[in-house]
């Protein structure tokens, strides 16, 4: 019994600490990438241009991890618990641009694995499928970072020593990769070898996919229906329209405490009014008007019940439409 309670508490704590499965996977993969970059730094210590590319990418990752630490610190329910028992101190130290402290980013990977293990693979997959917008955004950001790093390293390794090459430095490689990913193509930097051109074509294809999907995401974000406006189910809007647009409706287990209190208070008030009206009738009038008053009261009660049911449905629909997607 105690083990079951501990597992339930662990899952509840994991759901509280876990910001979003797609976001956690994104941070976990970036943490692994930063640790792999440490190996690259020592393996490519003789190539200055490669070292500069890795330094730029590590600086970018450090900024992302610092933002992640601030975000977790601000949104944590118990900040001291996150900082001391949730390895927040390791997140802070690993965010600093110091090579000796980057190994502490392994704690991010361990925390993500622990939290996702507590949630379970089925719930993670369900959440990723339901929250397609955030999953798509995190995937695009991850692909952009991976293509920027490995595309720059690869094109530099291919073109650096080629005859007539104009991609010979770290800045040339980074600039060429960024321009190619964005599908701008200034033409000031270009590969001269067959392998470099094949790599450039691959980067172009990936860049078109990334920016095309990202453009669709922004269009859906700014031009799609607002989830904070309650819609009438009769006109085909609301949860069905959100599902058609690719937006998963938030889970609503029932009316809130305030809505329930309003319904109970309305029912109690209507019952009190009915009881008061019945008590105010003289005894002689009650006996004579029992048959007619019963039918009238039944009609009034049915009308009040229908009104109360419609009000509860409206409150539940409004709460579901304005609920937080997290």
Handedness of CA 79, 82, 85, 87 (dihedral sign): negative
pLDDT 10s digits, 203-224: 999 988 888 887 877 787 777 6
pLDDT 10s digits, 43-59: 888 788 899 999 999 99
Q: Which two tokens stand for residue 310?
A: 């419609």
Question: Which one is predicted more confidently, 7 or 280?
Answer: 7
Q: How large a percentage of the chain has pLDDT more than 90?
A: 19
Please check the confidence at residue 264 and state whether its pLDDT lies above 70: no
Comparing 50-59, 135-144, 173-182, 236-245, which segment has the lowest mean pLDDT?
A: 236-245
Question: Which one is predicted more confidently, 217 or 201?
Answer: 201
Helices (H), the chain: 2-17, 21-43, 48-75, 79-80, 88-95, 106-119, 121-130, 132-159, 170-181, 194-223, 239-244, 257-280, 283-288, 290-322
Which residue, among 147, 199, 223, has the nearest Cα to 178 in the 3D structure?
147
Please check the confidence at residue 174 and state whether its pLDDT lies above 90: yes
Per-residue pLDDT band at 161 (split at 50, 70, 90): confident
Please check the confidence at residue 24 and state whether its pLDDT lies above 80: yes
Q: CA 244 to CA 251: how far, in whole Å? A: 17
Q: Which residue in this structure is represented by tokens 């490689």?
A: 173
Q: Is 247 left (phi over 0), alpha (psi -120 to 50) or beta?
A: beta
Q: Tell me the mean pLDDT in the region 98-108.
A: 79
Please check the confidence at residue 321 and state whether its pLDDT lies above 70: no
Per-residue pLDDT band at 170 (split at 50, 70, 90): very high
pLDDT 10s digits, 302-311: 778 888 888 8
Question: What residues contact residue 216 under an 8 Å CB cut-off, 6+ apart?
Answer: none
Q: CA 202 to CA 180: how far, in whole Å? A: 10
Average pLDDT of the residues of the chain: 75
- 3-class DSSP assignment, residue 76: coil
Question: Which one is predicted more confidently, 224 or 112?
Answer: 112
Q: How large a percentage of the chain has pLDDT more than 70?
A: 70
């Amino acid at each position: 019994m105690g083990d079951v309670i501990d597992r339930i508490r662990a899952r509840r704590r994991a759901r509280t600490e876990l910001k979003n499965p797609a976001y956690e996977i994104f941070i976990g993969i970036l943490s692994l990438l930063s640790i792999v970059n440490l190996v690259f730094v020592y393996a490519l210590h003789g190539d200055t241009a490669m070292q500069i590319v890795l330094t730029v990418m590590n600086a970018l990752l450090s900024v992302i991890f610092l933002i992640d630490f601030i975000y977790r610190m601000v949104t944590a329910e118990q900040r001291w618990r996150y900082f001391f028992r949730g390895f927040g101190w390791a997140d802070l130290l690993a965010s600093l641009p110091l090579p000796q402290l980057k190994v502490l980013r392994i704690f991010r990977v361990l925390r993500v694995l622990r939290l996702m293990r507590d949630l379970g693979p089925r719930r993670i997959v369900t959440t990723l499928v339901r929250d397609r917008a955030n999953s798509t955004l995190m995937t695009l950001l991850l692909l952009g970072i991976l293509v920027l790093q490995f595309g720059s390293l690869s094109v530099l390794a291919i073109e650096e020593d080629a005859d007539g090459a104009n991609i010979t430095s770290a800045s040339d490689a980074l600039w060429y990769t960024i321009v190619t990913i964005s599908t701008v193509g200034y033409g000031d930097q270009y590969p001269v070898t067959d392998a470099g051109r094949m790599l450039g074509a691959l980067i172009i294809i990936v860049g078109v996919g990334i920016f095309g999907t990202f453009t669709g995401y922004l269009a859906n974000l700014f031009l799609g229906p607002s989830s904070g406006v309650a819609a009438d189910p009769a006109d085909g809007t609301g949860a069905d329209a959100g599902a058609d647009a690719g937006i998963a409706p938030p889970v609503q287990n029932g009316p809130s405490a305030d809505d329930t209190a309003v319904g109970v208070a309305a029912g109690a008030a209507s019952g009190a009014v009915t009881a008061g009206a019945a008590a105010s009738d003289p005894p002689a009038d009650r006996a004579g008007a029992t048959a007619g008053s019963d039918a009238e009261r039944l009609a009034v009660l049915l009308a009040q019940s229908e009104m109360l049911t419609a009000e509860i449905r409206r409150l539940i629909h409004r709460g579901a439409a304005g609920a937080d997607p997290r």
